[in-house]
Structure 1
Amino acid sequence: MPTLSSFPDRPRADQLAALRAGLAHSNSARSPAMPFGVSALDERLASHGLDSAGLHEIAAASATLSDDAAATLFTAGIAARFAADPQLSIFWALTQFDLYAPGLEQVGLGPNKVFYAQGQKDNIVLAMAEDALRDGSLACVIAEVRQADQTATRRLQLAASDSRTPMLLYRRHRARERCPLSGLSSAMTRWRIGCLPSARLAHPGVGRARWSIELVRQRNGNPFSLELDACDDKGRLALPAAARHRAASAAGADSQAA
């Protein structure tokens, strides 16, 4: 019986070369990650941003309306940045149309950028999202559901990877005592978003909203949580002012002590 050592070295070398070429082609064809533009966040992400050929899940930290709104705007802000090119649009599928258009526009997602679709049940919404992904012409696809099993998320991840289109799955609360991210999923990242008190202003008025950003799970990386200022009119997050200048202040104090 022939063994591996019975075969000449050249065919094996050719096979290895072909395998390396295939891997290189696969890596070059992969869409790049979109950074958040906040170093404290991007440095903790395995891809240094959101993979634009993957499934990403978002949920509110609680079933309250304020956390639900924060998670919705976090999702919309990401979509707005994926669709920054004026020629690009996004697809948003949901079972109940309860979105507040002026709020979405405040984070950079104007009505001219979005195609909305409404389905009666979660499985219809998931099917529409998968079809939209496979179209391949959209900047981003969003689906809002209360239930999505691992099979459904695996299908969305495969469709996102094949079309190189980011998929944002917003998992709405269906029970107040259970986090929507507690089940199994094939998502590359899973985020939990909640509201925090705004910073005090030196004058009367309302400060920029502040969110708790918790990455519950990421592929090839560790979970973490941060406090960040909410999305601006371009969908961009930011470090709170005190945190942004904390390192500089500490450096100044050290130099004075020296």
Structure 2
Amino acid sequence: MNISAPFESRRGTGDLAALREAVARVAAARGPVLPFGIAPLDERLSGGGLDGAGLHEIAAATASWGDDAAATLFAAGIAARFAGARGLSVLWALTRFDLYAPGLEQAGLGPERILYAEGRDDRELLAICEDGLRGGVLACVVAEVKAADQTATRRLQLAAAEGATPMLLYRRHRRVGACPLDTPSLAMTRWRIAARPSERLAVPAIGRGRWHVELVRQRGGPPFALELEACDDQGRLALPAATRDRAAATGGAASPALGRVA
């Protein structure tokens, strides 16, 4: 009597059940997912949004002031939406305070939602972030660093998972022409942001800013890039719209915001 087929069938069923259980454990370990609310973006993201208990990295496409401001406001918009969803404050940690607070507020991150921490160097700054993440009482932690090796990103990812708090690591440019995202990392997503000219308006005015948003790497999904309109006062991005449709779609043109002190 040949018993190999039934045995193989039973073993296959057991393997499939174990695989499903493992997938369920991974899904349960994810934090609350924050979608962008833009179908072409969310559909390309593994899980449909940003993991609320993970490390996400952001960098400017170049060392220019324009790209730096765009990347800063991209981070601010995400942090503002995490804060709005949770009703908690954001911790923004950096070694040199050069943020332009009114610009952050125009991206949805007002003074009532943000706490600042200043460290002497990147090492001290990352330690502050770990403590903030593990406490589990913050909506989001944002840090600006020039150097964070793979061990540092592993520690941040573990702390984010432990405290169920998202971590946004803004990697500043160290050398002209060298992308900060070339450094190995355990981040769940890695974003590169560049400023683009706003759409020309029919009347003399400044249009809503535009960004080239590139997802360089993500766990469980492919990279992609989109051109989007900059954050509004709720931290929300938008697909580029024709000038005649913008007022109806957004209730009026958004004012431009700068993220840095020049």
Aligned to 1:157: 157
Deviation (angstroms), 1:221: 0.6
Cα shift at 1:204: 0.8
Which residue is 2:63 aligned to?
63
Aligned-residue CA RMSD in angstroms? 2.2
Q: What is the Cα deviation at residue 18 of structure 1?
A: 10
Residue 197 of structure 1 aligns with an amino acid whose one-letter code is P
For residue 24 of structure 1, report the CA deviation from its aligned partner: 4.4
Aligned position for 1:83: 83
1:36-75 to structure 2, matched below 5 A, reads 36-75=36-75
4+ runs of 1 displaced by more than 3 Å?
A: 16-30
Kindly state the Cα deviation for residue 123 of structure 1 after the two structures are TM-superposed: 0.5
Distance 1:141 1:45 in 2: 21
Q: Give runs of aligned pairs for residues 114-129 of structure 1, distance below 5 A.
A: 114-129=114-129
Deviation at 1:25, TM superposition (A): 6.0
Asked if 1:106 corresponds to 2:110, the answer is no
Tell me how far apart the structure 2 counterparts of residues 87 and 32 of structure 1 sit (CA, whole Å): 14
Cα 1:17–1:36, aligned 2, differ >3 Å: closer, same or farther?
A: closer
**Alignment check: 8 A CA contact 2:173 2:179 kept:** yes
Deviations 1:82-113 (A, max 9, x none): 00057410111100000000000001100111
8 Å CA contact retained: 2:31, 2:54: no
Partner of 2:148: 148
CA contact (8 A) 2:86 2:139 kept: no
1:30 positional shift: 3.3
Structure 1: segments with no counterpart, 5+ residues: 1-15, 246-258
Percent of residue pairs identical = 66
**Aligned equivalents of 2:160, 2:39: Cα separation in 1:** 26
* Bigger-Rg structure (1/2): 1
Whether the 8 Å CA contact 2:95–2:122 is kept in 1: the answer is: yes
User: Residues of 2 paired with 1:100 and 1:223: CA distance?
Assistant: 31
Q: Give the CA deviation at 1:183.
A: 1.1
* 1:33 Cα deviation after fit: 1.2
Distance in 2, Cα, partners of 1:87 & 1:72: 22
Alpha-carbon distance in structure 1 between the residues aligned to 2:65 and 2:112: 26
Q: How many residues are paired up?
A: 231
Per the normalisation by structure 1, the TM-score is: 0.84
Closer/same/farther in 2, CA of residues 99 and 29 from structure 1, 3 Å limit: same
Which structure 2 segments of 5+ residues have no match? 1-15, 246-262
**1:19 deviation in Å?**
9.9
Q: CA deviation at 1:120?
A: 1.0
Partner AA of 2:37 in structure 1: G
> What is residue 253 of structure 2 aligned with on the other side?
none
Change (3 A) 1:29 1:122: closer
* Structure 2 counterpart SS, 1:178: coil
Q: TM-score, normalised by structure 2?
A: 0.83
